Amino acid sequence: MSTMLDVEDLRVQFPTRTGVVDAVRGVSFTLGRERLGIVGESGSGKSQTGRAIMGLTPPHARITAKTLNFDGIDLLTASVKERRALRGNRIAMILQDPKYSLNPVMSIGRQIVETLRTHEKVSKAEARRRALDMLTAVQIRDPERVYDLHPHEVSGGMGQRAMIAMMLITGPELLIADEPTSALDVTVQLDVLRILDNLVRDRGMGLIFISHDLRLVSSFCDRVIVMYAGRIVEEIAARDLHMAKHPYTRGLLNCMPQIDNDRHPLPVLDRKPEWAA
Amino acid sequence: MTHALTTENLEVVFNRFRALRAVSIDVAPGESFGLVGESGSGKSTLLRAVAGLAPVSGGTITVNGKTLGSKRTKAFYREVQMVFQDPYGSLHPRQTVDRLLLEPLAVHGFGDIEKRILRALDEVGLGSSFRFRYSHQLSGGQRQRVAIARALILEPSIVLLDEPTSALDASVQAEVLNLLEQIRRDRKLTFLMVSHDLAVITHMCDRLMVMQNGAEVERLTAAELTKRKVSQDYTRNLLIASQGFVRPEVPAGG
């Protein structure tokens, strides 16, 4: 499997008034054309890892790494212009809540066309046709109608599908999905995942799926990285998750209520300081 | 036996939209009753109608044998308290924990304020060191504990819980669910709890109702759900969805 993304010893630091906050502390992994899950709780650094790869870290933060390489391009030394050419074109990102991540005063169709025409020289008519095709590909039944709707006029599931359409229209090689379904109902969640799954497979993309939901990620991805306090505590094949060794991973799996397993009280995580060491 | 809480053919209409369609539930004293459904199913509306936060346009609500009128009295709020979903939105950002807990006591003219505040904090597992913090100085789980303490400080007999853990991390959720269970046992409280998560409801409740489009789909006991003894397809779909993603079989290797 060819490596597309190579991350070695990635660190993200935020200087604050009260000292430096280490959000990501030495994360290393490689990614080929596969589905990689990054799991962790709030503050574990999972989102900041994704944002650093995407180049969306706030300017006052400090990013360092031994290697941060996407398909031969050194992302650390790439100019702003080079990063902009990659972002949205070869590397795309899906965010959590379509209510906040879509432009509220622009129709869905125009937003998709805007993304396309930023990265490719296509005529308006051609762009419209491709946007409609993309809306069809994310299984929106009446693309002509949805094209002219504004984000507040569609449901959360439909909004998230529009978001996926917008991100995939440029044919990216790497897709970073940061909690793409956490704002959706469970049944809608599965619809959106199914669409995402098909597109990732058909187009041979690499996918980084960032989520707090260990069970969902393991049912969707090939490989899972578990993060705690800015570090990777465990990396495991998704199908071997039940054999996870690290007490944090096991604790996370164990503390969720299960329909078939009635336990009172629920086991709670006993956080050990050495996990964060 | 008088029920702690019943609703009969309860209707809620917003403008012309029927958010709740003839919903009837009955909750025994000390019971924990769950409402499950997706967004827009009316589960939160039912809770809010009981609390007096949604306009009731038909049907009756009875609490401890008394049928409620359109206005909620102070006595009602001593009996019935609510914990909201988002601890970031439901605590006053410019009040300390002490002030937040003082408010309900002052409104209801309680004495022994000092002792009650300390006991309430202790009960939810927060030390007295949290007493003079602002809510932005607390984590999500700590905030939800403060919200629970605020609900319990009036010693209600019925607590309405609107997705109390869905804004929390899994490990924090376990702690808060354990806390709620223990408090219910110790104080013999009646819970009416709303969640979109079937596993959470099955864990916390004796009986539950599945809702869709403002109406009841079916009523089950937690044991029936565990044994998959469900009669409606909608409930079955929810059960399947709660198991996570299943990759469809792909021809040609996948």
pLDDT of residue B250: 58
| Strand partners for B218 | B210
**pLDDT reading at B89 higher than 90:** no
CA-to-CA distance for A205 and B51, rounded, in angstroms?
50
- Give the angle subtended at the CA of B207 by the CAs of B203 and B209, to the nearest 5°: 105
What is B20-56 written as a DSSP string? EEEEEEEE-TT-EEEEE--TTSSHHHHHHHHHT-S-E
| Residues making up chain B, counted from first to last | 254
User: Which pLDDT does position A173 carry in this prediction?
Assistant: 95
Give the pLDDT score at B253.
Answer: 43
Question: A26-59 as b/e, with b when 16 or more CB fall inside 10 Å?
Answer: ebebebebbbbbbbbbebbbbbbbbbbbbbbbee
Q: Which of B38, B171, B246 sits opposite A219 (nearest CB)?
A: B246
Question: Is A251 in Cβ contact with B171 (below 8 Å)?
Answer: yes
Quick check: B239 and A193 CB within 8 A? no
Q: State whether A258 and B199 contact (CB < 8 Å).
A: yes
Mean predicted lDDT score pLDDT of chain A: 92
Report the pLDDT value the prediction gives residue A214, as an integer from 0 to 100: 87
Mean pLDDT throughout B102-116?
A: 94
pLDDT at position A97 is 83
Partner-chain contact B181 A265, CB within 8 Å? yes
Question: What single-letter DSSP state applies at residue A87?
Answer: B
Query: Which residue ranges of chain A lie beneath pLDDT 70?
Result: 1
Classify residue B88 by burial, with Cβ atoms within 10 Å: 0-12, 13-18, 19+: middle
Q: What is the pLDDT of residue B185?
A: 94
Mark yes or no for CB contact A265/B242 under 8 Å: no
Backbone angles phi, psi at B229, to 5 degrees: -85, 70
Any A CB within 8 A of B2 CB: no
- Predicted pLDDT at A184: 84
CB distance B93 to B42 below 8 Å: no
All residues of chain A having their beta carbon less than 8 Å from the beta carbon of residue B200 are 257
Mean pLDDT of B140-166: 94
Element of type H or E holding A94: strand A91-94
From chain B, the residues in CB contact with A269 under 8 A are: 171, 174
Q: What is the pTM assigned to this prediction?
A: 0.88
β-bridge pairing B215-221 and B32-36 = unpaired
- Bridge partners, A91 (sequence order): A87, A174
Q: Give the dihedral of Cα atoms B167, B198, A214, A265; nearest 10 deg.
A: 80
pLDDT at B1: 64
State the ipTM, two decimals: 0.82
Whole-number pLDDT of residue A2: 81
- Mark yes or no for CB contact A189/B241 under 8 Å: yes
B170 vs A156, A186, A255: nearest CB: A255
User: Nearest by CB to B245, which of A193, A214, A255?
Assistant: A193
In whole angstroms, how far apart are CA B245 and each of A191, B198, B237, B251? Answer: 9, 16, 13, 18
Q: State how far residue B59 is from chain A, nearest Cα, in angstroms.
A: 29
- The answer, yes or no, to whether the previous bond of A265 is cis (omega within 30 of 0) is yes
Residue A198, sorted as left (phi over 0), alpha (psi -120 to 50) or beta, turns out to be: alpha
Tokens of B173: 């959720």
Subunit contact A190:B241, Cβ cutoff 8 A: yes
Q: Which amino acid is at B148?
A: I
Contacts of B88 (CB under 8 A, 6+ apart): B135, B140, B143, B167
Question: Per-residue pLDDT for B254 more than 60?
Answer: no
**DSSP one-letter code for B72:** P
Residue of A nearest to B40 (CA): A185
Residue B230 has pLDDT above 50, yes or no: yes
Going along chain B from its start, the domains and CATH numbers come out as 5-241 (3.40.50.300)
> Which of A33, A160, A179, A255 is most worth mutating to test chain B (most B CB atoms within 10 A of its CB)?
A255
Mean pLDDT of all residues in chain B?
Answer: 92
